[in-house]
Amino acid sequence: MASQQAAPAESRDLAASPRFALDARRWTRYEAITLALSLLLLFFLSGPWYDVRFAECPPPGLYAHPQLHPCRITDITSVGGTAAHAYVWVTVLPSLIIVAVLVLRAGFGRVSFLAWPTDRQLLAGAACASLVVVLTAFLTRSGIVSVRPHRFPPWYAISQLSIIWESGADIALALAAAAAAAAVLNAVMTRHHG
């Protein structure tokens, strides 16, 4: 008899608890944009940020027509953002926070365990944290480094090792900035309209 009474009580508890039903329509447009850009950012973090080249040029004045003897440039390697700046991997954590909060909201309609900060403030904070990390890596630029030893005579060819920016760094910065802007707009818009 006791087992029969326990079964209806359990079913009432299950009916009262929220059920997970994934519905992406619960996201705002800005949240969907933040999620897409944050996931795309993870791809561009390990993409090529730098191109390392070795240039060997004849010394000035050695040839009457320098255009006939141009510099010989050899591509050595491309370096990704995570290889050049190991701390860039930290941006995985804010991206996981963004995914977790939005999946919980899409499944339950709201993230009930957050009183402060709100889920929208948490999204904005996570996206801005990613922007700070990517911006820090972007601002630590590398210049041209001369590798010509001083012992060689002046007629010896000039060699330079150059580190040139590739588009991966620009794209990663643009994605992080756009994700942060969308998340901040989402937090501001919902505070004023809801």
The reply to whether 3 falls in a domain is no
> In the prediction, which pLDDT does 118 show?
82
Nearest Cα to Cα of residue 137 among 73, 58, 47, 45: 45
The reply to whether 88 falls in a domain is yes
Domain residue limits at 169: 23-193
The reply to whether 8 falls in a domain is no
Burial class (CB in 10 A: 0-12, 13-18, 19+), 14: exposed
The reply to whether 14 falls in a domain is no
> In the prediction, which pLDDT does 117 show?
79
Q: What is the pLDDT along the chain (194 residues), one digit of tens a residue?
A: 555 555 555 555 545 556 777 777 888 899 999 999 999 999 999 888 888 777 777 666 555 555 565 777 777 788 888 888 889 999 999 999 999 989 888 887 666 666 677 888 999 999 999 999 999 998 886 544 444 444 545 545 556 777 777 888 999 999 999 999 999 999 998 665 55
Tell me the CA end-to-end span of the chain in Å, nearest whole number: 50
Strand ranges (E), 58-128: 72-80
Q: How many domains does the chain have?
A: 1
The reply to whether 4 falls in a domain is no
> In the prediction, which pLDDT does 149 show?
46
The reply to whether 149 falls in a domain is yes
Nearest Cα to Cα of residue 95 among 122, 77, 66, 75: 122
The reply to whether 158 falls in a domain is yes
The reply to whether 91 falls in a domain is yes
Which whole-number Å values give the CA distances from 61 to 55, 58, 70, 158, in the listed order?
A: 18, 9, 13, 12
Nearest Cα to Cα of residue 124 among 191, 173, 186, 33: 186
Which whole-number Å values give the CA distances from 190 to 36, 70, 105, in the listed order?
A: 20, 59, 15
